[in-house]
A and B are shown apart, each in its own frame.
Chain A
Amino acid sequence: MVDSAGILAQPFMQRALLGGLLTGGLGGLLGSFAVLRQLSFFSDALGHSALLGVSIGILLGINPTLVLIPFAVLFALLVNQLVERSKLPADALLNIVYSSSLAFAVVALSLVETYRGGIQQLLFGDILGIGWLDLGVIALLLLGAVLYLVLSMRAQVLLTLNSDFAGAFGVGANWHRIAFIVLLAVVVAVSIKAVGVLLISAFVVIPACAGRLLSRRFPIYVLSSALLGGGCALLGLFASGLTNLPSGPCVVIVQFSGFMLVLLFKAIF
């Protein structure tokens, strides 16, 4: 066991904590809308597809980080089209997409000798390896997401409630739906390094579900989801540093514990 002051003094830990706060906040913020729009499974599929993006980058000899964002955006738009045009239920389609992309990605990565050891890192993330450039990108993304969601709050809420109703009252429903999906794809792609493919959907879904149970006003719901996301990430990383356990899973365990506490609180009061 390491002492807490010692952990906080480490520069890599300081970056990790800041990264966790920003990534967790961003996940909670977008998650608050994604959960209401029933896009939880969509974010999971995006996370799994990111692994395919990484493997394509490696096979082509391009830096995977550069491939990841355009791949995730393209993938999200294609899947969105597939869900809208197909007569099949969205959850079944997303299941096909995410399990297939995971299978392709693992096969592709196993062909690259040097990358076999990196799969673990991709699956569960390596927030301790986060650099200042990554932090800058995440901070910019958070700022952009806050600006977009605040300025289009009316459109986002009406669209979440009923897209025809929103359209009738002047909301460019298609435009906002695509903009949100692209934003979600970029956030997932950027957060993969820190959070990992398997755990990214927890960052989007768990804080938002806890916030949804706690709030009776929409701004409070969005804010509480973002704060819970950031707060749980901080606490989880700190616990990971103290116990030397894997960081991503520690954060998700803290998020889950928080969610259970909220459930318990709602059951009592």
Chain B
Amino acid sequence: MDNSVLRVENLSVRRDGQLVVDGVNFELLSESDTALVGPNGAGKSSLVAALLGLLPRLTGEVFVMGHRLGPTGELPHGVRSQIAYLPQSFALRGRFPLSVAEFVAFGFDPPGPRLPWRNRSKRRKAVLVALARTGSSKLGAKLLSELSGGELKRVLLAFCVVRPRKLLLLDEAQAGLDATASEQFQELLLQLRRQEGWTVLQVSHDLEMVRRSCDQVLCLNRYLRCSGPPSHALNPQRLAELYGPNVVAYQHQHHG
């Protein structure tokens, strides 16, 4: 299909000797926002890692913009540079002598060896725009290791948006953000999809946000339990199958 950005066929992943993802199939179409939900230990992060080529596949194939992902994550540079990723954790140990602006600038360069001073003025302009878009303009001179958890998330997003991309994978990227920052984050994702044609896959435990913002849901608990629009995939019966009966009760109370 022409507007297929990511296609996953019969994907199984083993981590530390255990089968954590089993025979998963799905497809992400251009400009869609898909949520990957499931209980802790359901294999969500492992699935994302396998899609990025960070974990080897036991079986199956992954196609990114029509290109087959190699067994150890090989993709043409042109395709790889269109993928962005926000990890679940990004712990820095001790003082790291790298400013936020320097860090975001590394997101501008495509993979491969190059002289760091090439495209300097273009890169600088792109960094300023990316910092402004993510509400991080005041953070440019700070050290990366001086940021709070929420600030770091915004700066990581600035790293992703500093150059045009097509596919954004978020692994619980909004965890730790306050309500306002979370809203701004979703607003920016919407803007990136509508105005620049990005496709988003986000791992999330925030089912309310998923209902509001995503147009497709993948329910994972080692294998894909259900998928479809939020109204279908997050109905009480399916949530009970995925999380257990307590979550269903919570959902009912919440919506009255």
| Interface, chain A (partner B; CB < 8 A) | 36, 38, 150-155, 157-158, 161-162, 164-165, 167-171, 211-213, 215-221
Contacts and interface: CB of A to CB of B under 8 A. Distances in A.
B115 A218 contact: no
Main SS of chain B's interface residues?
loop
Interface in B47-80: 49, 52-54, 73, 75, 77, 80
Nearest to B48: A168
B110 interface: yes
B83 to A, nearest CB: 7
A196 B43 CA distance: 49
21 contacts: A150-B115, A154-B109, A154-B116, A155-B113, A157-B98, A157-B103, A161-B98, A165-B85, A165-B90, A167-B53, A168-B83, A170-B75, A170-B77, A170-B81, A170-B110, A170-B111, A171-B111, A212-B94, A212-B97, A216-B141, A218-B97
Chain B interface size range = 35 or more
Nearest to B79: A170
Interface in B4-34: none
A162 B115 contact: no
A240 to B, nearest CB: 31
A217 B73 contact: no
Contacts of A213: 95
Contacts, number: 82
Contact of B114 (A38, A154, A164, A219): A154
Nearest to A32: B97
Contacts of A167: 52-54, 73
Contacts of B81: 169-170
Contacts of A216: 97, 99, 141, 143
A214 B256 CA distance: 57
Interface in B93-122: 93-99, 102-103, 106-107, 109-116
Given A164-B87, A217-B102, A212 B95 contact: yes
A153 B116 CA distance: 7
B92 interface: yes
Given A158-B106, A162-B87, A165-B90, A221 B54 contact: no
A165 B89 CA distance: 10
A151 B92 contact: no
Contacts of A161: 90, 92, 96, 98, 103, 144
Given A161-B90, A164-B49, A150 B116 contact: yes
A200 to B, nearest CB: 23
Contacts of A157: 98, 103, 106
A73 to B, nearest CB: 22
- B80, B98, B143 interface centre (most CB from chain A within 10 Å): B98
Given A167-B53, A167-B54, A168-B169, 11 more contacts: A36-B96, A154-B109, A168-B84, A168-B87, A169-B83, A169-B111, A170-B81, A170-B110, A170-B112, A212-B95, A217-B97
A168 B85 contact: yes
B104 to A, nearest CB: 12
A169 B107 contact: yes
A161 B49 CA distance: 17
